[in-house]
Amino acid sequence: MTTYLTPALAWRRMREGNERFVAGESSHPNQDSSRRSSLVENQHPFAVIFGCSDSRLAAEIIFDVGLGDVFVVRTAGQVIDDAVLGSLEYSVGVLGVPLIAILGHDSCGAVSATKAAVDTGEMPPGFIRDLVERITPSVLTSMRQDKHEVNDMVVEHVKQTSERLVDSSRVISDAIESGRTAVIGLSYSLAEGRANVVSGIGEL
């Protein structure tokens, strides 16, 4: 029998884990062999985290969770593509996760690269250009609001990523409408280790 958390309780669990991590009091739950054995047949993660690939943003560590706790999708600058949408729809539609956390962070290299491309008009080579193109709307919106710091752009990009996710996916927007899941936007401070709430969609 699977019992799903509400979006609010799922966020509380993530927040409490992050507070332990910030305080240097991580409890490293669900990381032993008995937990591993209990998960062989199936998984019931209580959240999906869609965040930047940055090596300092290790999802299970910063929220102090373990095996089977969170479904994780990460791309540089948390840019959305079809595979990301498919992964998120799987977590919501098939696994039934009650919370989608969008995780950006200060001093993000992908957002900084996009700001540089917009400032200079010079695009980076190869598929890095694809990342920059997907972050450009967030950078332009920030500039129009007279916010020119990379960290302001990160916050805007978390918000826009959340909105685009819901706009793009029927599976996700239906789940939000019925109250089965919600989206929370987070901006993580590399120095402090804290995930600050910057936006939300649905009932939390």
Enumerate binding residues for Zn ion (CB under 5 A): 52, 54, 108
Q: 52 or 101, CB closer to Zn ion?
A: 52
| DSSP class per residue in 137-177 | HHHHHHHHTT--SHHHHHHHHHHHHHHHHHHH-HHHHHHHH
Quote the tokens at residue 193.
């280790």
Q: 7 or 104, CB closer to Zn ion?
A: 104
Q: 52 or 118, CB closer to Zn ion?
A: 52
Closest distance of CB 107 from Zn ion, Å: 8
Closest distance of CB 164 from Zn ion, Å: 17
Closest distance of CB 192 from Zn ion, Å: 16
Closest distance of CB 158 from Zn ion, Å: 11
How far apart (Å, rounded) are the C-alpha atoms in residues 204 and 183?
Answer: 8
Q: 30 or 196, CB closer to Zn ion?
A: 196
Q: 70 or 108, CB closer to Zn ion?
A: 108
Quote the tokens at residue 12.
């509380």
Do the Cβ atoms of 28 and 64 come closer than 8 Å? yes
Closest distance of CB 152 from Zn ion, Å: 15
How far apart (Å, rounded) are the C-alpha atoms in residues 145 and 34?
Answer: 52
**How distant, in Å, are the alpha carbons of 5, 61, 130, 168 from that of 110?**
33, 22, 11, 22
How far apart (Å, rounded) are the C-alpha atoms in residues 49 and 188?
Answer: 13
